[in-house]
Amino acid sequence: MTTLAEHAGIDPYREARARSKALKQRRHAVRAVIKHIVLILSSIGMLYPLMWLVASSFKPDTAIFSDFSLIPQAFSFENYVNGWTALRTSFTTFFTNSFIIAALAVVGNLMACSLTAFAFARLDFPLKKLWFTLMLATLMIPYHVTLIPQYILFLNIGWVNTILPLVVPKFLATDAFFVFLMVQFFRGIPRELDEAARMDGCGPWRIYWRIMLPLSVPVMATAAIFSFMWTYDDFLGPLIYLNDINQYTVPLALRTFVDSSGVSAWGQLFAMSTLSLLPVFFFFLFFQRLIIRGVATSAMKR
Amino acid sequence: MTNLTRRSFNRYLLASAAGAAAFGGLTVPAFADSRLRFMWWGNPTRDERTNAVVDLFEGNNSGIVVDTEALASNDYWPKIATQAAGGNMPDVMQMDYRFLFEYARRGQIVPLDDYVGNQIDLSNFDPGFVDSGRVDGQLFGIPFGANSPSVIYNMAKFAEYGVTLPDHSWTWDEFWDFARQIKAVAPEGQWAVADKAAWEPAFDIFLRQQGKQLYTEQGELGYTAADAAEYFEMWRQAREEGLVPPADITAQDSDGLDTRPISRRRVAIDFAHSNHLGGLQGQNPDELGITLFPHREGGVPGQYMKCATLLCITANSDAKDDAAKLVNYLLTDPEANKILRMERGVPGDNAIAATLLEDPDDIERKTIEYFAIVQDNVSPMPPPPPAGAGEVEVMMVRLYGELIFDRLTPEEAGERLVNDAQAILDRA
Amino acid sequence: MATITSTSSRWDAFARQWRRGRSGYMFLIPWLIGFFALTLGPALASLYLAFTKYDILTPPVFTGLDNFRYMFLQDYRFRQALQVTFTYVLWSVPLKLGLALLIAIALDKGTRGVDLYRAIFYLPSLIGGSVAIAVLWRQLFDRDGLTDQLLQLLGWPPGTSILNNPDHALKTLIVLSVWQFGAPMVIFLAGLRQIPQDLHEAARMDGAKTMQRFFRITLPMLAPVIFFNLIMQTIDAFKAFTQAFVVSAGTGGPIDSTLFYTLYLYQEGFAFFRMGYASALAWFLLIIIAAFTALTFLSAKYWVHYDDTR
């Protein structure tokens, strides 16, 4: 016995299939919506404290700790205007100093650490394991106990009160974090690529320059972000090595706003803190694009 | 080899730096006849005033250039210590009384006796007050301002509660009775008195009122476990009655003026050094007042004056004479003090204090009036604290925390305080 | 005769090895200079100081094993600091890494507006250990703060302070650490980007489901990066300092409940002038961290495979 549907030449499963397809699509849409809701909710969770910081920067000092709302009752730029010039030197100088030091650190770290990482990841040489272990070990000493010997060292070279102690080490790959990071990524790049290049007569320098670096844009961008941010944020180094307020960096200047023994200018502190976040934020936005774009290049090369 | 001298220690480090030396050698050239470095810790107001005075000083003393550096106190001390290790301290530094002995006895700051009467003119200072900068007989620091532990209260709250502050000759019993009056009318979430039991000056005054003290002349503990237990018990009762806030509010009261219970508007009465009146007022929309600690029935006066901060000249300064000039200018110049005013406490120079009295602002007037009362109820300065005293102070805060979080009884806490303090002194 | 040839051939082998290694050392020159000139000296100095009494203000005095004897036999704050630090490491590292990996995969591609989400999730890490954190954390976790108000909605009595409760204060610092998961997230993102797309395509053609692809492709390919993040986050967590310092105003309180190891070390060195003892503490910490790192490296044999060792 044939069904009516069959008789009419209708595919009996078509409707069901269509229904299931629609269902799948709907499920897909639902899942996307749920994903967005989760992302948005968690974004708010992530952001609440920051929004509070920004909101407080527009409030007068007396309202900061009594008025918890995120929307200030009176909106005022006073903290920004006064904060910018509250210290003997204006924040123009502090921002300039911070940028110079952070930019040099990025350049130094990318150059020196990638060279070192290339050696550890790709080249063979005697005592390699020993050096690698020692390099990792330098990460494990709390910096508070090497601070004084290091200070004495830089004092004797005559570098105290200059930015050299903050910058020169970066050109000497002293930050093992970045070396290790790059080693891990370099090792992820298939060896066939450099073996093929070696067949073509490329030496290690050209392999480093022509193959490794172009294929490592994501990790280099990552390293650039962290170098910039951590140098920009660092305050202990500048505190110890810089004496002249004209050489102060932003975090160092921010710390002088609040003192436990006196009147604290919270509003100005928050205003300047907010401003100090902007450069790192934009630096991040720009370089994270490179992390994404880097992939396209390496995928193509593959 | 049991002992490395600083120089050989440095040379040893230098050897490892030899390679790096090839890279650098940049130094900041100094062209002035004499270049001084002057460091202090403070706040934006203090920094602005002090820098203005330093500019004046440079104008009056051509040939002397002063590089100033102002930090928050949390950052100031590690930096000073690091510089001391390298022999690169500033020429003139602001000193905290609790570190005076550490730096003086370890030869990092120099005795100033030879400068007094020459570059430094202390003729208008009370000799007794100047003595607070003495370590083992020599003058290592000159007090920058006078200071006394005090009771700070919120006048607006008193008016709101309809209570009147008793006379400043109050006893501890009267003090707690007054607290009970406040508690009776205070709304939920507010208490009468901040729990400052762990604040060392409060304990010290309590001891001194019964003829005891924190440390004896010989640097030994000047109290027993029973004394401490009695003190802790007094506060425990206050906590039980709800006169002082619960443990979490007391625990938050760590260091900064902004976390004080009075600044967080939790209590009507707090305890603080008198030179913090201005800072606390800055945190508070209500008007604050200042008065004496309660005294002990039939006891002796326990309160004392001490210096808030001192000025010191470091051993590694190579322009000590000019440094002394700067110190003198900061302490005794009338023009300079018109700018500095009483931000670091009441000036030790009586002539200067008198000129400030001509046009005092609100805080200055209250402070000076308060000082007039303290003067009549003052006991002698405590003897210099032994090495390790600073650590005992920190330990007591921790120990008191265990008490308020109900991990110790007052008796146990008294016992622990004496034992742990003794262990710290022995180790120092 | 025979011996000569054998030495010379041994020499040849060494020379060959050296010649082969020469370019390795050429690349290593900057690091070697930095290591010997800037890093090694201060590190050895601190090792020496660990066996001295050094008050910073006067030269160190050699005291043998005194520091270590005091550390292991008498120092109850040392034990407290160890306990706090281990608790912190064991909780914060897995939570932070798990969250970072999860978010990195969610934000790898596909969803609209990923760029923005990525930036937003990274924002908390930008604040780092700024002073503002102390105030923020009070607004969130202290009496009358956000958590207090939320708990009141759930029927709790008012006046709960998580931040100033010795039983819970450490948790707020673990939350802070997990909240700042940006750094490992970015590294995971970069790692995900290095996984060749064709592998996923091939697997999809073979009919592998999302979950299967995650376990068969993503995880193994990401292993070197997970390994890196695990090691670095563990080291960082053992050395955690700034956040605890800022939130507890340097005290490690209430009653030492947030006394991180390095915070204790800092107090000993700079507040109580015992830099020798602080150095001893530092070198003991180094041993602990090295042991953890070595274990992770040993375990790597079983779960980390590199493209270059086939």
Kindly state whether residue C36 falls inside one of the protein's structural domains.
Answer: no
Residues of C in contact with A292 (CB under 8 A): 193
What are the residue ranges spanned by the domains of chain A?
4-49, 78-301
A164: closest chain B residue by CA = B24
A63/B contact by beta carbon, under 8 A? no
B309: closest chain A residue by CA = A261
Q: Which of C17, C46, C222 to mutate to test the interface with A (most CBs of A within 10 A)?
A: C46
Q: Where are the beta strands (DSSP E) in chain C?
A: 52-53, 61-62
Q: State mean pLDDT over B167-174.
A: 89
Say what the pLDDT of residue A11 is. Answer: 59
Kindly state whether residue C159 falls inside one of the protein's structural domains.
Answer: yes
CA distance B349 to B337: 10
**Which CATH number goes with the domain that contains C284?**
1.10.3720.10
Say what the pLDDT of residue A24 is. Answer: 73
Query: Of residues C231 and B381, which shows the higher confidence score?
Result: C231
Q: State mean pLDDT over B157-168.
A: 88
Query: Shortest CB distance from B10 goes to which of A62, A152, A240?
Result: A152
Three-state SS for B152?
Answer: strand
Q: State if pTM tops 0.90.
A: no
Say what the pLDDT of residue B194 is. Answer: 93
CB C249 to CB B259 under 8 A? yes
Residues A37, A40, A46, A48: is their CA dihedral positive or negative? negative
A142/B contact by beta carbon, under 8 A? no
Say what the pLDDT of residue B7 is. Answer: 44
Residues of A in contact with B283 (CB under 8 A): 263-264
Residues of C in contact with A253 (CB under 8 A): none
Kindly state whether residue C105 falls inside one of the protein's structural domains.
Answer: yes
C32: closest chain A residue by CA = A172
CA A117 vs. chain centroid, Å, equals 19
Tokens of B161: 């509660």
Q: State mean pLDDT over B274-295.
A: 88
Tokens of B290: 């200042």
Neighbours of B285 (CB within 10 A): 10
Q: What is the mean pLDDT of chain C?
A: 86
Say what the pLDDT of residue A295 is. Answer: 45
> What are the tens digits of pLDDT across the range B182-218?
999 999 889 999 999 999 999 999 999 999 999 998 8
CB B44 to CB A257 under 8 A? yes
Q: State mean pLDDT over B63-75.
A: 88
CB B24 to CB A159 under 8 A? yes
Based on the structure, what is the number of domains in chain C? 1
Kindly state whether residue C2 falls inside one of the protein's structural domains.
Answer: no
> What are the tens digits of pLDDT across the range B368-418?
889 888 888 788 878 878 888 888 988 999 999 999 999 999 999 999 999
B55/A contact by beta carbon, under 8 A? no
Are the CB atoms for B142 and B122 separated by under 8 Å? yes
CA distance B392 to A190: 61
Neighbours of C144 (CB within 10 A): 17
CB A260 to CB B72 under 8 A? yes
Residue C2 distance to chain A (closest CA, Å): 27
Residues of A in contact with C22 (CB under 8 A): 125
Residues of B in contact with C60 (CB under 8 A): 3-4, 9
Domain that holds residue C181: 73-303
CA distance C156 to C162: 13
In chain B, the percentage of residues whose pLDDT exceeds 70 is: 92
Kindly state whether residue C33 falls inside one of the protein's structural domains.
Answer: no
> What are the tens digits of pLDDT across the range B78-89?
999 999 999 999
- Arch. (CATH architecture) of A78-301: Orthogonal Bundle (1.10)
Say what the pLDDT of residue B5 is. Answer: 46
CA distance B89 to B78: 12
Given a cut of 90, whether residue B229 has pLDDT beyond it is: yes
Kindly state whether residue C21 falls inside one of the protein's structural domains.
Answer: no
Given a cut of 90, whether residue B297 has pLDDT beyond it is: no
Residues B378, B397, B82, A244: is their CA dihedral positive or negative? negative
CA distance B104 to C57: 10
DSSP string over C228-266? HHHHHHHHHHHT--HHHHHHTTTS--STTTT--HHHHHH
First to last CA, chain A: 59
Say what the pLDDT of residue C303 is. Answer: 86
CA distance A295 to A215: 8
Residues of B in contact with C143 (CB under 8 A): 248-249
Say what the pLDDT of residue B285 is. Answer: 85
Say what the pLDDT of residue B141 is. Answer: 93
> What are the tens digits of pLDDT across the range C119-166?
888 888 887 777 778 778 887 888 888 888 888 888 888 888 888 889
ipTM, 2 decimals?
A: 0.86
What structural domains and CATH numbers belong to chain B? 33-145+307-364 (3.40.190.10), 149-303+387-427 (3.40.190.10)
CB A115 to CB C20 under 8 A? no
Say what the pLDDT of residue A263 is. Answer: 56
CB A221 to CB C115 under 8 A? no
Q: Which residues of chain A have pLDDT under 70?
A: 1-14, 61-70, 72-74, 258-264, 292-302
Say what the pLDDT of residue A4 is. Answer: 47
* Binding-face residues of B in 303-342 toward A, CB within 8 A: none
Query: Of residues A103 and B278, which shows the higher confidence score?
Result: A103
Q: Which residues pair with B67 in a beta bridge?
A: B37
Residue B307 distance to chain A (closest CA, Å): 15
Please count the CA atoms within 13 angstroms of the CA of B73 that sit on its side-chain side: 21
Query: Of residues C184 and A3, which shows the higher confidence score?
Result: C184
List chains adjacent to chain A, taking adjacency as at least 3 C-beta pairs closer than 8 Å.
B, C
Least confident of A7-16, B18-27, B305-314: B18-27
Kindly state whether residue C12 falls inside one of the protein's structural domains.
Answer: no
Q: State mean pLDDT over B348-373.
A: 86
CA distance B54 to B39: 11
Residues of B in contact with A266 (CB under 8 A): 258
C103: closest chain A residue by CA = A39
Say what the pLDDT of residue A96 is. Answer: 94
Kindly state whether residue C103 falls inside one of the protein's structural domains.
Answer: yes
B62-86 burial string, b = 16+ CB within 10 Å, else e? eebbbbbbbbbbbbbebbbbbbbbb
- Total residue count of chain B as it appears in this document: 428
Given a cut of 60, whether residue B125 has pLDDT beyond it is: yes
Say what the pLDDT of residue C118 is. Answer: 82
A291/C contact by beta carbon, under 8 A? yes
CB B102 to CB C57 under 8 A? yes
B82: closest chain A residue by CA = A148
Q: What is the mean pLDDT of chain B?
A: 86
Distances (CA, A) of A154 to A276, B208, B244: 28, 49, 51
In chain B, the percentage of residues whose pLDDT exceeds 90 is: 48
Residue C33 distance to chain B (closest CA, Å): 7
Residues of C in contact with A298 (CB under 8 A): 193-194
- Give ∠ CA B377-B383-B386 in degrees, rounded to 5: 145
